[in-house]
Amino acid sequence: MKETQLYRVLQTNSSIFSLCSNIKNLDISYTYMLKIDSLGQLLHLTELHLSHNLFDDIPEVVTQINSLAKLDLSHNQLTTIRKNILNWIDTQHTKFGCFELYLINNPLICSCDTTTFLRWILTTEVQLDKNGNYSCWVSSLKKINYTRNVAEDFHHYFVDCDYTIWIKLGISLLVSVLSTLICITLLYNFRWRIDFFFIRNIWRFAENGLELNFDYDVYVSFSDDCISFVKELQKKVEDEWSFKICFEDRDFVVGESIATERATAIHKCRHVIFLVSPSIVENEWARFEIERAKYEKFSKNLQKIVVITRDISLDNIPIEFSSIWKDVILIQWPIKKDEVQMAWQKLRLWFF
C-alpha cells in the first residue's frame, strides 16, 4: 500500500483491514496522511511503516496494537514524542525484549518543552536509528544541533528551564507564606471573637445540662456617679454583643417591693457586674445586692461576679466582697484608649 492515497479511504472507512487481520507487516508510507483514527483489529501486526507522511504527532491508534515491535516514523513532521507514547514504547520493549523506532528526518525541537523526550533518548533501551542522535532545532540558541549532544549537556543548553521552575516554586512559596500570614493576622485580629464564640457555646451547653434558665445575661449594680458609664456599657452589651441587661427603670415590676425585685432580678441573671465608684458608700442598696449575689453564687446559680472599679482605690472597696473575693473577677478600669479597648474585650470574654 506504499505510495497510495490511502488517507482518503481511512477518512471514511476504518475497517478496510478487517479482511486481513492476520497481517504482520504493514507499510503505508508515502501516503500523505496527517492522522489515522483507526486501523481495525490487527492482532498480529509486528511492523508498521508510516514514513514519508505528514504526522506531527504519533497517532494514538498505534498504542492499541499490542503486538507491535517495530515502528517507522521517519520523514514526518514530528517535533517531539509525548510522555504517554514513550511509556508505551518502553512497555513494548519490556514485553518483547526488543523494540525498533525510526525517527530520522523529523523537524525535532530541543527546548524546555521537550526535555522529557530528550532525557528519554539517553536512558531508553529501545533500539533507535542513528543511535538516537537526530538533528534538532535548539530554540534557546536559534541553531541546529543533535539530540544526544543537547541531552548530555542539558544544563548548558537549558539553564533557563530550571530557572523557570525555581521562579514557579518561589511564587508558590510566596503565595503560601502570604496566605499563612493573612490567616494568622485574621486569627490574631479576631481572636477575641473566636474565643467569645467558643466560650459562649460551652456555657450554653453547660447551662442546658444543668437545666439553668436565665431571663437576662447581666445584672448591673451601680451608683449615681456611674450613669454615663452604664449607658456606654448598655451600648456595648446589648447593641454590639447582642445580650440583655436587667435595668431597674426598665425591667422591674412597678408596685412590687424594691428588695424583692432586686433579689428576683439577680436570680434571673446569668452574671452580675458591680460598678464600684467613690459613691458606693452612699448607695443604700449596694450591700444588699452584694449579699444577694453571694447567696446566688453559693447556690451555684450565678456564674460570674465582675467588679469594675472606677476612680477608687482597692483599699476602699466594700468589705462585703472579702468573703467571695476568690470568686470575683476584678477589672480596674483604665483611662488610656487602647487599654480601654482591651478591657472591653476581656469583659466580653470573661462573661460570655
Q: What single-letter DSSP state applies at residue 139?
A: T
Residue 299 confidence (pLDDT) above 80 = no
The tens digit of pLDDT for each residue in 169-218 reads 778 888 888 888 888 887 777 665 566 556 555 555 554 545 467 889 89
Q: Over 60: is that where the pLDDT of 127 sits? A: yes
Q: What is the DSSP string of 309-351?
A: E-S--GGGS-GGGGGGGGGEEEEE---SHHHHHHHHHHHHHHH
Confidence of residue 249 (pLDDT cuts 50, 70, 90): confident
Comparing 67 with 287, the larger pLDDT belongs to 67
User: If you search the block for the grid coordinates 428576683, which residue do you land on?
Assistant: 264
Residue 110 cell numbers, joined: 530541543
C-alpha grid cell, residue 180 = 499563612
Q: Is the pTM of this model over 0.95?
A: no
Question: What is the tens place of the pLDDT at every residue in 69-124?
Answer: 999 999 999 999 999 999 999 999 999 999 999 999 999 999 888 989 999 999 99
pLDDT at 131: 92
* 72 and 29 Cβ atoms separated by less than 8 Å: yes
**Helices 83-96 and 115-123 meet at what angle, rounded to 10?**
20
Per-residue model confidence as pLDDT tens digits over 300-331 = 677 788 888 888 888 778 777 777 777 788 88
Residue 57 has pLDDT above 60, yes or no: yes
Q: Taking the alpha carbons of 175, 176, 180, 181 in that order, is the dihedral positive or negative?
A: negative
DSSP for residue 109: E
Q: How many residues does the chain have?
A: 352
Check pLDDT > 60 for residue 21: yes
Please choose, from the candidates 84, 86, 82, 58, the residue with its C-alpha nearest in 3D space to the C-alpha of residue 72. 58
Strand partners, 102: 72
